Amino acid sequence: MLSIRCPVCGPRDEDEFVFGGDASAVRPADPMACDDQAWTAFLYRRDNPAGPHDELWFHRFGCRRWLRVRRDTRSHAIVAPPLLAEDAGAP
């Protein structure tokens, strides 16, 4: 069971959250200007690291805000204090 420290609500169990995936996938500003490779890179390809991973979590049963969490995918340890996604500059 993960315990995620929400900046608004404090430490909460993982089942209050919804995983939102890789936070480093940034939607191209002008999709129409992308070639197929660039669009595929955004839409489908992932680094999928074994190690620290920046990811989005939605606090569904709490403040209903998006968080940006840095978590090690080998140990599940959260390696930096989670931030609100908007404060972290995440999309």
Partner 1 sequence: MARGYSLAALLRHALSGHRDWPAAWRMPEPKASYDVIIIGGGGHGLATAYYLAKNHGITNVAVLEKGWIGGGNTARNTTIIRSNYQQDGNARFYEHSVKLWEGLSRDLNFNVMFSQRGMINLFHTTAERDSWVRRYNSMRLNGIDAAVLGTAEIAALVPDLDLSPHGRHPVLGGVIQRRAGVARHDAVAWGFGRAADQRGVDIIQNCAVTGIVREGGRVVGVETTRGRILARKVASCVAGNSSRIGEMAGLRLPIESHLLQAMVSEPVKPFLNVVLSSGAHRVYVSQTDKGEVLIGGRLDGYNSYSQRGSLPVIEEIAAGAAALLPRLKRLRLMRSWAGLVDMTMDGSAIISKTPVEGFYLNGGWCYGGFKATPASGWCFAHLIANDAPHPLAERHRLDRFTTGHTINERGAGPAPHLH
Q: Which of 29, 33, 48, 89 binds partner 1 (CB under 8 A)?
A: 48
Tokens 């968080």 locate to 67
What are the backbone dihedrals phi and psi of residue 19, each rounded to the nearest 5 degrees, phi first?
A: -75, 135
Q: From the CB of residue 44, how many other CB atoms can be counted at a distance below 10 Å?
A: 8
Using rule CB under 5 A, residue 2 touches Zn ion: no
| Closest alpha carbon to 8 in 74, 73, 50, 66 | 66
Q: Which of 53, 59, 68, 71 binds Zn ion (CB under 5 A)?
A: 59
Using rule CB under 8 A, residue 86 touches partner 1: no
Residues that bind partner 1 (CB under 8 A): 1-2, 13-15, 19, 21-22, 36-37, 40-41, 43-50, 53, 55, 71, 73-76
